Structure 1
Amino acid sequence: MADNFTITATPEAHAADTEFFVRRGMTKGYQIASLVTPPVYIAFVISRFGRSHITVNRLLRATWVGGSVGLVGGGGFEYVRSAYSKPEHVRARRIRAAYDTASIRADDHSTIGGIICAVVVPAVFWKRASAVNLVLGGAGIGSAVGLLAHYGRSISGDTPPEPQLPGHVVET
């Protein structure tokens, strides 16, 4: 047991845990920002300029730019949170995060939705937006749709199983 503690207490282990959380924060930030940006953008444009100023190109651009802001913000937040925390706390958080099946399923749904919509949106709206906005905006919209699919499955009763953390005895 003492050997495991000395391995996990090294600066390299803490740096690896911090890197894990930065990547996870970037993923979660992108997902949330891609989910929130389109309705906020539509509400803002309608209240400010009216319906005639909403175009597919602008909506897709706002979606991928908002997702990029979420990506950077989530990564920065997790870096500050993890780099300046005690290594023991960061290690415990990483173990919980690695076995969090709900979070893993949300990431999977979001990734699948992003990949599918990065292909489908350009095929449907080819003449209405630039190629960059079609692909990147489509990926953002798909990421949001995948995240909504995960939440919809969870609300409908198809919840992911509870994680079994190593070293914890499950009482039955």
Structure 2
Amino acid sequence: MTDSDAVISQAHAEDTEFFVRRGMTKGYQMMSLLTPPLYVTFALVRFGRSHLAVNRILRATWVGGSVGIVGGGAFEYGRSAYSAADKLRARRMQATFDTASMRADDHSTIGGILFAVLTPAVFWNRASTINLILGGAGIGSAVGLLTHHARTISGDPSPPINVPPSS
């Protein structure tokens, strides 16, 4: 293997790692958004109102977020590890300068941290501590993602950035 091949291989590995991390983040955000309404609907249809509890909803939220992390990372690894290096580099440049995605991640992170603190304060005696913190972070991540989309729909889109041409 020549030095040029080693550099390309290293760059491909770094790009793959970037997309796996990004896929894990996006998977967590999506599953944190989808899990609570899906779980509530499932519990109501299958067991009725008596099965709904704050502890169960919060537990389902963080377990769903964990599934999103694993699924998103696995999907992006499969997609990126077997892509051509030049196509992967172009995708990474697009993703790096995607301000809408960055703003969604920022809102999601802020919401996750905020709700990880507020949920235990509000529901202290209704759920276990781990479900309060992790489930609250999942709910907050979903609320942050919804906030990003509400801002975009209401006329405050994130500013576009021109991607520099690849050399």
Aligned length: 163
Which residue, 126, 132, 135 being the options, matches 2:133?
A: 135
Give the aligned partner of residue 96 of structure 1.
94
Give the aligned partner of residue 115 of structure 1.
113
Residue pair 1:102, 1:160 contacting (<8 A) in 2 also: yes
Structure 1 residue 40 displacement after superposition: 0.2
Change (3 A) 1:7 1:154: farther
In 1, the alpha carbon distance for the partners of 2:86 and 2:134 equals: 38
Instruction: Tell me the alpha carbon deviations over residues 3-32 of structure 1, each in whole angstroms, 9 at most, x when there is no partner.
Output: xxx599611100000000000000000000
In 1, the alpha carbon distance for the partners of 2:14 and 2:115 equals: 32
Residue pair 1:7, 1:13 contacting (<8 A) in 2 also: no
Give the aligned partner of residue 3 of structure 1.
none
What letter is aligned with 1:104? Answer: M
Residue pair 1:109, 1:147 contacting (<8 A) in 2 also: yes
Q: Which runs of 4+ in 1 moved over 3 A?
A: 6-9
Three-state SS of the structure 2 residue aligned to 1:14 is: helix
Instruction: Tell me the alpha carbon deviations over residues 8-67 of structure 1, each in whole angstroms, 9 at most, x when there is no partner.
Output: 961110000000000000000000000000000000000000011100000000000000
What letter is aligned with 2:64? Answer: G
In 1, the alpha carbon distance for the partners of 2:6 and 2:161 equals: 22
Q: Which runs of 5+ in 2 are unaligned?
A: none
When normalised by structure 1's length, the TM-score is 0.92
What letter is aligned with 2:11? Answer: A
When normalised by structure 2's length, the TM-score is 0.95
In 1, the alpha carbon distance for the partners of 2:165 and 2:134 equals: 42
Structure 1 residue 127 displacement after superposition: 0.4
Structure 1 residue 166 displacement after superposition: 1.0
Give the aligned partner of residue 148 of structure 2.
150
What letter is aligned with 2:83? Answer: S
Structure 1 residue 164 displacement after superposition: 1.2
In 1, the alpha carbon distance for the partners of 2:159 and 2:6 equals: 28
In 1, the alpha carbon distance for the partners of 2:37 and 2:12 equals: 38
In 1, the alpha carbon distance for the partners of 2:86 and 2:31 equals: 30
Q: Which runs of 5+ in 1 are unaligned?
A: 1-5
In 2, the alpha carbon distance for the partners of 1:167 and 1:73 equals: 32
